[in-house]
Amino acid sequence: MTEPTLQSDLNSFDLKAFLTEYGRLVVAAMEKRIARYPEESRVTQAMRHSLFAGGKRLRPILCMTSAEAVGGNKDHVMDVAAALEFIHTYSLIHDDLPALDDDDYRRGTPTCHKAFDEATAILAGDGLLTSAFEILSHAADDGLLPAEKVLTIIAGISHAAGCNGMILGQMLDIEGEHESLTREELEDIHNNKTGAMIEVSVFSGAYLGGGTPEQIAALDVYAKNVGLAFQVIDDILNVIGDPKVMGKAVGTDAELGKSTYPALMGLDGAQDFAERLINKALQAIVSFDNKCDPLRSIATYILTRSR
């Protein structure tokens, strides 16, 4: 295994503690924002079921750490961070439905349509997506962020989550089932399905944190490579992962006839590809100081994660 090229000493950086603390902040931000909806409502209960079922909280944490990497304040981007996780959770609820991946478990708990029913799960996903944009529309209310910058972020997230991003990637993924896809076609699927939201998470933090055009461009290269590497490792874990650790079934990609990186390159080839992507991500942020160490550590963590 090739050792990623680290540009600062990360041995003293406690990523586990960092992710735990920042994950706690994300959960608190989501609790605050979902409290505006009636707790007794079945759809609110379904939204909460999936929203607070655990998870890496990768997208909001990338937003927060990207803001800090350019000298910004993570507290100023918490509306955006919460909205990103609302959108991600909506996508998981719909992805798990019988019409798509038909998964029974997510993060070790019954998926939304299993805990409730299909109709409620669809509405819960719709509710989370709509609520995300309600949250974003109020992100400038406290005066900490310029309204025009928030509008830019709303446009960017809409693009990344929509028919030029995540939705497009999902459709291409469905159309590619039981087909022999090329590497370029597979990358196109995942750059949209997974990568687009990771990229806009990093961009949102860097842009709202006051990053220079050069910093934002460098972080965009980081995000593109991290986003694709994340999906490559996801594909690998779907083959060799422990379902007890992952909290969901493995081997489902093969059952659905999906094209994956291990199927295309073999397990060793896919792992090597992921390592090359992470090295590119790390190289892109070589000029950043130690405020960028969380992003460096997250990149290397992606290679070794087990869930």
Mind listing the pLDDT tens digit for each residue in 139-191? 999 999 999 999 999 999 999 999 999 999 999 999 998 998 999 999 999 99
206-249 confidence digits (pLDDT tens): 999 999 999 999 999 999 999 999 999 999 999 988 887 767 77
Rounded CA gap, 116 and 240, in Å?
30
Sequence-separated (6 or more) residues with CB below 8 Å from residue 28: none
Do the strands 105-106 and 109-110 form a parallel or antiparallel pair, or are they unpaired? antiparallel
Indicate the pLDDT class of residue 9, thresholds 50, 70 and 90. low
The confidence score (pLDDT) of residue 165 equals 98
pTM of the shown model? 0.93
The confidence score (pLDDT) of residue 244 equals 78
26-50 confidence digits (pLDDT tens): 999 999 999 999 999 999 999 999 9
Domain ranges across the chain: 15-304
The DSSP H or E segment spanning 141 is none
The confidence score (pLDDT) of residue 259 equals 86
More confident residue, 60 or 8: 60
68-110 confidence digits (pLDDT tens): 999 999 999 999 999 999 999 999 999 999 999 999 999 889 9
Average pLDDT of the chain to the nearest whole number: 93
How long is the chain?
Answer: 307
Sequence-separated (6 or more) residues with CB below 8 Å from residue 61: 19, 22, 23, 26, 81, 298
Rounded CA gap, 131 and 114, in Å?
23
Give 29: exposed, middle or buried? Use CB within 10 Å, 0-12, 13-18, 19+: buried
We find that the CATH architecture of domain 15-304 is Orthogonal Bundle (1.10)
Q: Which two tokens stand for residue 23?
A: 């994950």
> 16 pLDDT exceeds 80?
yes
